[in-house]
């Protein structure tokens, strides 16, 4: 069945429908990862977006247990070529069936290189995936321009608190409170492997409830959408900042901590999404290859130097990749040190967090 991707600038791409055949409007973003398509599909940070994979062949090892959450989150999935016969000893199915199961529409067979060049030159824009061959572009474009992702954190956060014990033979270390803004499983896994007992809290949990449990440290997770939409959460994070509890924040959590302490964020032209972004640690001048997924960034010109200072910078474009908070046991990063598969250069940041909490018992 034919499918069409219609962009708000009037460009139309024609391909083949994969997954669900329902019509969807979403923000169109691209990811440059060469592997890990399943981790991309199941990353809650993609809620409210349709993902273009720039690598030309997707799905060659099918669906395996390597998921960052229990289901896929993008509104749509866009690829150049979809493998028809996945081959892997752990393969449990195909991407086509996976998308159909969760009612996610997709399109294959389009020129993703040309599409990505448009998004790089003109910036991220909204688009529609449809199988309706009689579409009216004059009626569609105003709808595309009016679309916003809204507050998608509420869509992806957990519904109730849960406790996850340390894993394996790791020595017991600390109790960590994780605020689930759309957390990837490997954040929890990275903590449990280091002996932490992790209590996962829904995004709208009050600071008072978290602090009353007397955690050794607090983790603010990744998540989707515009950080400024999370007004109530920002107010609670401000209270967490004012406590003396060590805090480590990733991606959306990094942005929300900056907003909670008076800094500002802005939307990037086309964002950073992929497993190949170099970041420099400003304390050591060492460069790490990182995995990233974000469309917003902290504006360092709005930082109060008495509150926070830049700790990491993106080598490609100079944007902020992390902050260190003055007089506080708080550090935050824009990239994903837990990324798997992908570069694990920066996994040491979890060890740094453990040390901030006082190290192993």
Cβ pair 5, 13 in contact under 8 A: yes
β-sheet bridge partners, residue 220: 179, 249
DSSP code per residue over 200-234? EEETT--HHHHHHT--SEEEE----S-GGG-HHHH
Is 254 among the catalytic positions?
A: no
Q: Is 81 a catalytic residue?
A: no
Give the three-class secondary structure for 269.
strand
Cα 33-191-71 angle, rounded to 5 deg = 50
295 assigned to a ligand binding site: yes
Contacts of 50 (CB under 8 A, 6+ apart): 24, 26, 27, 28, 29, 74, 75, 76, 77, 78, 127, 129
The C-alpha atoms of residue 236 and residue 96 are separated, in whole angstroms, by 41
Cβ atoms of 194 and 349 within 8 Å: the answer is: no
Catalytic, out of 27, 254, 338, 340: 338
Is 223 annotated to bind a ligand? Reply is yes
Active site (annotated) includes residue 336: yes
Q: d(Cα 39, Cα 65) in Å, to the nearest integer?
A: 10
Tell me the C-alpha distance between 216 and 172, whole Å: 12
- What is the three-state SS of 34-50? CCCHHHHHCCHHHCCEE
Is 296 labelled as part of a ligand binding site?
Answer: yes
**Residue of 251, 254, 294, 340 marked active site:** 251
Catalytic residue among 254, 272, 277, 336: 336
Q: Is 225 annotated as a binding residue?
A: yes
Among 207, 204, 271, 251, which residue's Cα sits nearest to residue 231? 204
Q: What are phi and psi of 356, to 5 degrees?
A: -60, -35
Structure tokens at 87: 């081959």
Binding residue per annotation — 45? yes
Q: Tokens standing for 243?
A: 């406590």
Specify the 3-state DSSP secondary structure of 236: helix
Instruction: Please tell me whether the peptide bond between 216 and the residue prior to it is cis, using omega within 30 degrees of 0.
Output: no
Binding residues: 45, 223, 225, 252, 255, 293, 295-296
Binding residues for L-glutamine: 45, 223, 225, 252, 255, 293, 295-296
Question: What are the catalytic residues?
Answer: 251, 336, 338
């Amino acid at each position: 069945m034919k499918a069409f991707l219609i962009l708000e600038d009037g460009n139309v791409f024609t391909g083949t429908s994969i997954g669900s055949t329902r019509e969807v409007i979403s923000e169109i973003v691209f990811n440059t990862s060469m592997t890990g398509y399943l981790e991309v599909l199941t990353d809650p940070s993609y809620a409210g977006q349709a993902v273009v994979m720039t690598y030309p062949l997707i799905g060659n090892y099918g669906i395996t247990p390597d998921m960052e959450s229990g289901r896929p989150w993008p509104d749509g999935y866009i690829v150049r070529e979809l493998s028809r016969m996945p081959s892997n000893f752990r393969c449990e199915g195909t991407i086509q069936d996976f998308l159909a199961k969760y009612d996610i529409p997709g399109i294959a067979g389009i020129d993703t290189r040309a599409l990505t060049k448009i998004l790089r030159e003109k910036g991220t824009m909204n688009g529609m995936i449809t199988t309706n061959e009689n579409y009216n572009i004059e009626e569609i474009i105003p709808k595309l321009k009016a679309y916003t992702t809204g507050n998608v954190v509420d869509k992806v956060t957990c519904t109730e608190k849960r406790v996850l014990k340390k894993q394996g033979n790791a020595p017991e270390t600390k109790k960590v409170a994780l605020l689930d803004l759309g957390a990837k499983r490997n954040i929890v896994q990275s903590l449990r492997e280091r002996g932490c007992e992790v209590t996962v809290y829904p995004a709208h949990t009050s600071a008072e409830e978290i602090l009353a449990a007397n955690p050794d440290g607090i983790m603010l997770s990744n998540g989707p959408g515009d950080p400024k939409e999370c007004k109530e959460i920002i107010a609670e994070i401000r209270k967490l900042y004012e406590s003396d509890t060590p805090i480590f924040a990733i991606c959306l959590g990094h942005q929300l901590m900056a907003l909670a302490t008076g800094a500002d964020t802005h939307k990037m032209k086309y964002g950073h999404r992929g497993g190949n972004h170099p970041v420099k640690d400003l304390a050591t001048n060492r460069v790490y290859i990182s995995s990233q997924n974000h469309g917003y960034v902290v504006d360092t010109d709005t930082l109060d130097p008495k509150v926070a200072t830049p700790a990491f910078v993106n080598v490609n474009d100079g944007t902020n990749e992390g902050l260190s908070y003055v007089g506080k046991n708080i550090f935050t990063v824009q990239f994903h040190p837990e990324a798997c598969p992908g570069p694990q250069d920066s996994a040491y940041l979890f060890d740094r967090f453990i040390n901030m909490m006082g190290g192993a018992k």
